[in-house]
Amino acid sequence: MEEEVKIDESTMSKALEFAYNKAVNGVKGLDSAEDLAKDYMKTDEPLEVQVNNLIKWQNAKAGTSGFVTGLGGIITMPVTLPANITSVLFVQIRMISAIAHMGGYDLKDDKVKTFVYACLVGTSANEIIKKAGIEIGKKLTINAIKNISGKVIMQINQKIGFRLITKFGEKGIINLGKAVPLLGGLIGGAIDTVSNNTIGNTARDMFIGKEEKK
């Protein structure tokens, strides 16, 4: 029998907060988002190339069989979500946060955290931000984030949470016998690299700037 887990706004909010704190502060045996960013910033290559390298190698690692399964014992979240789901949240939030740090954003800023969460919904992030009345142009500037009101941030958080919940299932029910497309197809303990790449590219466009078409 396939196990089902009901997820609501409170559970999602706690899961995101927990994963973000672990991603930013680090956990035993894993680099923090800032340390991960520094690894890719050691080269003399342009920032965009450094970010693209980070996304590429995170995709390669996350796509290996047993990757998420191996994180299960490390990322134990005090909410009623299975370890494989919480592990994927952690991995993708850490990647997004590393990219934000590479762009010069303060990961301790709650407003920055909101836009890190927004990247989890991939290409829908811009739609959510625009509906909140924010025009980000080529990228979301640090000054633009500072000028966003707390009320708007709350609205964005609510929309992100709702979008994440509905991606799990029609009524926010996770069927553990099926893949979860948004947070990665949990197949053989790996993260769906297509989904992960989309999220990485969304983070790059938001915090670094849109890649120029050639």
pLDDT tens-digit series, residues 171-210: 444 444 443 443 444 445 667 788 889 999 999 999 998 6
Q: Is residue 101 part of a domain?
A: yes
Give the closest residue to 172 by CA, choosing from 5, 1, 53, 7: 7
Hey, is 30 helix, strand or coil?
Answer: strand
pLDDT at 138: 61
Residue 213 lies in a domain: no
Q: 102 lies in which domain range?
A: 4-207
User: Is residue 212 a part of any domain in this protein?
Assistant: no
Whether 140 is covered by a domain: the verdict is: yes
- Cα–Cα–Cα angle for 74, 2, 190, nearest 5°? 40
Q: State the total domains in the chain.
A: 1
Q: Confirm whether 214 is domain-assigned.
A: no
Q: Using 50, 70 and 90 to split pLDDT, how confident is the model at 56?
A: very high
Q: Is residue 69 part of a domain?
A: yes
On average, the pLDDT of the chain sits at 80
Q: Is 48 helix (H, G, I), strand (E, B) or coil?
A: helix
Question: Is there a domain that residue 143 lies in?
Answer: yes
Strands (E), 108-205: 173-175
Domain contains 82: yes
Nearest to 4 by CA among 62, 85, 74: 85
Report the Cα 141 to chain-centroid distance in Å: 19
